[in-house]
Structure 1
Amino acid sequence: MTKQTVGVIGVGMMGHGIARNIQKKGWPLAYLDHPGNQPSDDLDADGARRFDDASALAAACDILILCVTGSPQIEALLLGPDSVTAALRPGTIVVDCSTGIPSATMKAAEAVKAVGCDFVDAAMTRTPKEAEEGRLNLLIGGDAATVAALTPLFEAFSENRFHAGGIGRGQTLKLLHNFVSLGSVTLIAEAAACAAENDIAPEVLVDCLRRGGGYGAGLDRTAPYILDGDVTPMRFSNSNARKDLTYYSQLVEETGTSRKVAEGVRGALDWLVETGHGDEMMPTACTTFRKKDK
């Protein structure tokens, strides 16, 4: 694949790592200047083009990567009155790395295809640390030939890639993953709070879980907070977690399968957000859940 110009909208905690690794691997890079971006002096220093207008950026690139908060932002970018869709050049590929509702993703894809372009959803898992290291997991939905053509670019910022099927299936797999992943962290946080209130030493709790059935990525990311108050391995806010569980609940409602466990997890996240802890990173719930009379 010729190294085409890649545009990025959403140079935040995850998007900055994506953009930086794309640039390091030799793709010409452009990005949208936005207040939500991480510092981008390093991108500028290595020749990235900074755009103030999303449509101008869309018109200037061959591949447009979207790494924004969720479905409302994707809909605004691709379906709203100020969408960038009309500015896309025929043949441009739009890659949505955000977390969204699959049915909304498919509507956005239809709008992109209507102007002679292609669309792939490539939702991410892992954390900003792995994003900076170029070691994300990508959960991909799209035409097999288009995904194959994009693979050299995906390899620039990901370690593992899972092609789940057609458009929207990457987002579906992401919601399934996040239900399990974020649900595990929420469960561990509640257990840690109960353990602390019952005088179980944090190191004993963590060691017990690590050597038994409680071990997994959720524990690895939560244990540093339980032991030392460190949230670095899990820089994911309670508000974002609630958003993802809300999306999962909508997916399950549309699918018709059970969501009783999801309702419990979402209820816990609702409480965290509604009591003023939405902007805190998820591991801090180990402390917050110690509050009585919830």
Structure 2
Amino acid sequence: MKVGIVGVGLMGHGIARNVMRRGGYSLSFLDHPGNQPVDELIRLGASPCKTPAEVAAASDVVIVCVTGSPQVEAVVTGETGLLSGLTPGTVIVDCSTALPETTRRMGAAVGAAGCGYVDAPMTRTAKHAHEGQLNLLVGGDPELLERVRPVLASFTEDVKHVGPLGQGHELKLLHNYVSIGFMTLLAEAAAHAADAHVDGQVLVDVLAGGGGASAALDRLAPFIVEGDREGLPFAIANAQKDINYFRDMARQSGAQKIIADGVANAISAVTESGNGQAYLPELVNLFRKPPRVDGV
């Protein structure tokens, strides 16, 4: 199979390199200013394309790894989008974090063209993408999943079929709500501890030995203790987008979202102050109280 990818960002770059290095597939990619450096991909034989339509025309499987629903819609159904270059039988694998209603709408448009669409949002981090150890939550026709599974195996550790089209993105939004919610709460607690002159390592040890032990603590601990943000290179603005997607999903279904609203308010105050591109662990500092005039 020939593989294409649209979105060679922090996550997409790791996917692309493993599709070629581990999977041995030929690869076409959208040449875009938002890409990570593609020198390695070019050396491995990847072919740049000017439009998503060109990527689609060169591919049997197209992986989409962009920011959110507006970008997915533009990539799939835009003027030079994938839809205008697809040949019957092509399968689109949407690894973005998007609203389920967008997923189902894109799936219907692609299906009408005689092609397949599955949502396969990722869990884990850019480090796991680079190492080919992502986990995918796949919604859609199980037969389509089996058709593309060999490609997915080149950059994943675990691939779960979770239900019909759109359910992958529902579960991803639930996952990110819980994950970002935990880390926002922990960042607020760590900021309070720092303001109270509690040693960061002591805080981490106390939490790890009790009810605070969690993946969220594991990911924020390097920043709490050493100021190292690189363990979770996930922009606060992206976290806000994901929480707002969850709130939209909850609103449409009539589900409670009281805590989600609180998380959104905490994060939006940071992005509105111009810190949206800071990484999520940096919330620990951004939540701290301002120093007094005397510097204390």
Mapped partners of 1:292, 1:48: distance in 2: 49
Mapped partners of 2:151, 2:210: distance in 1: 39
The 3-state SS of whatever aligns with 1:14 is helix
Match of 1:276? 274
Question: What is the RMSD of the two structures over their aligned residues, measured on CA atoms?
Answer: 1.1
In the alignment, structure 1 residue 40 sits paired with structure 2 residue 49: no
In the alignment, structure 1 residue 8 sits paired with structure 2 residue 2: no
Match of 1:61? 59
Mapped partners of 1:219, 1:59: distance in 2: 45
Of the candidates 3, 17, 22, which is equivalent to residue 19 of structure 2? 22
Contact 1:86 1:115 in 2 (8 A): no
Mapped partners of 2:289, 2:279: distance in 1: 17
Summarize the alignment of residues 98-117 of structure 1 with structure 2, pairs less than 5 Å apart: 98-117=96-115
Match of 1:75? 73
Match of 1:146? 144
The 3-state SS of whatever aligns with 2:260 is helix
Mapped partners of 1:189, 1:197: distance in 2: 12
Q: How big is the shift at 1:233?
A: 1.0
| Cα deviation 1:13-60 (Å, max 9, x = unaligned) | 000000000101211111111111111111111111111222111111
Mapped partners of 2:81, 2:44: distance in 1: 29
Of the candidates 284, 289, 293, which is equivalent to residue 286 of structure 1? 284
In the superposition, the TM-score normalised over structure 2's length comes to 0.96
The one-letter amino acid paired with 1:274 is E
The 3-state SS of whatever aligns with 2:35 is coil
Summarize the alignment of residues 148-187 of structure 1 with structure 2, pairs less than 5 Å apart: 148-187=146-185
In the alignment, structure 1 residue 84 sits paired with structure 2 residue 82: yes
Q: Which moved more, 1:148-157 or 1:221-230?
A: 148-157
Mapped partners of 2:29, 2:78: distance in 1: 20
Mapped partners of 1:66, 1:202: distance in 2: 39
Mapped partners of 2:162, 2:197: distance in 1: 45
| Cα deviation 1:108-143 (Å, max 9, x = unaligned) | 111111110000000001111000000011011010
The 3-state SS of whatever aligns with 1:235 is coil
Contact 1:249 1:262 in 2 (8 A): yes
Of the candidates 228, 231, 253, which is equivalent to residue 230 of structure 1? 228
Mapped partners of 1:84, 1:150: distance in 2: 18
The one-letter amino acid paired with 2:136 is L
The one-letter amino acid paired with 2:212 is G
Q: How big is the shift at 1:68?
A: 0.4
Q: How big is the shift at 1:80?
A: 3.0
Q: How big is the shift at 1:98?
A: 0.2
The one-letter amino acid paired with 1:22 is V
| Cα deviation 1:56-89 (Å, max 9, x = unaligned) | 1111100011000000001111233342202100
Mapped partners of 2:226, 2:17: distance in 1: 30
Summarize the alignment of residues 168-247 of structure 1 with structure 2, pairs less than 5 Å apart: 168-247=166-245
The 3-state SS of whatever aligns with 1:234 is coil
> What residue ranges of structure 1 are gaps of 5+ in the alignment?
none
> What residue ranges of structure 2 are gaps of 5+ in the alignment?
292-296
Mapped partners of 2:99, 2:37: distance in 1: 29
Match of 1:124? 122
The 3-state SS of whatever aligns with 1:47 is coil
The one-letter amino acid paired with 1:232 is E
In the superposition, the TM-score normalised over structure 1's length comes to 0.96
Mapped partners of 2:200, 2:171: distance in 1: 33
Match of 2:294? none
Mapped partners of 2:99, 2:212: distance in 1: 30
The 3-state SS of whatever aligns with 2:160 is strand
Q: How big is the shift at 1:151?
A: 1.6
The 3-state SS of whatever aligns with 2:121 is strand
The 3-state SS of whatever aligns with 2:231 is helix
Mapped partners of 1:145, 1:54: distance in 2: 25
Mapped partners of 1:241, 1:270: distance in 2: 10
